[in-house]
Amino acid sequence: MSTAKSAHVVPYYRPQGRECELFEAAFRQRLPLLLKGPTGCGKTRFVSHMAARLGLPLNTVACHDDLSAADLTGRWLLKGGETIWADGPLTAAARNGGICYLDEIVEARKDVTVVLHPLTDDRRILTLERTGETIAAPADFMIVVSYNPGYQSILKTLKPSTRQRFIAIDFDYPTPAIEAEIVAQETGIARDRADRLVALAGKLRMLKGVDLEEGASTRLLVSCASLIVAGLTLDEAIETAIIEPLSDDADVKRGLRDLVVAVIG
């Protein structure tokens, strides 16, 4: 869990469409927001950008299959012989205001969604069974969740009763021109080199579902470009930031290298 309290610096975020306006409208209307999209396409950056822009504290939780409701709401702790209550990230946001962002929500245990329900309808309350307290969330409290529909399995999906509480934005990798702009802006690499990496990513993404579980993300392109800026050769950067993270299979990696030669030379 990470908490960003100050909103002095607004992290760079290049919009792909009207998602910033949609986010602001959702916040003003107190609607919870669901962001769908592949890994590394900018969802987390978008949320930190919007939190800073709106001057809201941001509590981010990376969900995993052991994450329980108590991890979000809080627990009793023993401190110097005393038992004190420590708010979890969801309770902290519901009590003090701000955004609680649950990344990869489908990974969390089922009891987590139960806790979210009264906070995501017009009651906007959080009941802490362990303290007997009921918290009414302030106007500037917002829940944002994200998940990657590409990883979806029958077992790991949001129930309609949960997902229909959220308005949703579908994210994808940016268009080539925007993606190259992002890669150049994030790393300082020359625009023509960013264009070539983005062209490569475009080809690699076509292999999704065939040879690769997931295509090369914007995050991988940014990592690759930063290695180049740090002085690595193009080949080294592509090998370590793109090919190795994408596959463990020797045949697949060989195929990817052939594709790199065909696209980049």
By the criterion CB under 6 A, which residues form the site for ligand ADP?
A: 12-14, 37, 39-45, 174, 182, 186, 218-219, 222
Q: Give me the least distance between CB of 35 and ligand ADP, in Å please.
A: 8
Going by their DSSP bridges, the two strands 167-170 and 33-36 should be labelled as parallel
Q: Give me the least distance between CB of 12 and ligand ADP, in Å please.
A: 5
Phi-psi region of 91 (alpha: psi -120 to 50; beta: other; left: phi over 0): alpha
**Nearest 5°: phi and psi at 180?**
-65, -35
Q: Give me the least distance between CB of 181 and ligand ADP, in Å please.
A: 9
| Whether the Cβ atoms of residue 30 and residue 145 lie closer than 8 Å to each other | no
User: What is the helix (H) or strand (E) element at residue 98, kind and residue range?
Assistant: strand 98-103
Q: Give me the least distance between CB of 174 and ligand ADP, in Å please.
A: 6
Between 73 and 146, name the residue whose CB sits nearer to ligand ADP: 146
Between 39 and 96, name the residue whose CB sits nearer to ligand ADP: 39
- Three-state DSSP class for residue 132: coil
Between 16 and 247, name the residue whose CB sits nearer to ligand ADP: 16
Q: Give me the least distance between CB of 162 and ligand ADP, in Å please.
A: 20
Between 20 and 70, name the residue whose CB sits nearer to ligand ADP: 20
- Which of 112, 175, 102, 98 has the alpha carbon at shortest distance from 142? 98
Integer Cα distance of 110 and 149 in angstroms: 18
Between 37 and 74, name the residue whose CB sits nearer to ligand ADP: 37
Closest CB to ligand ADP belongs to which residue?
42
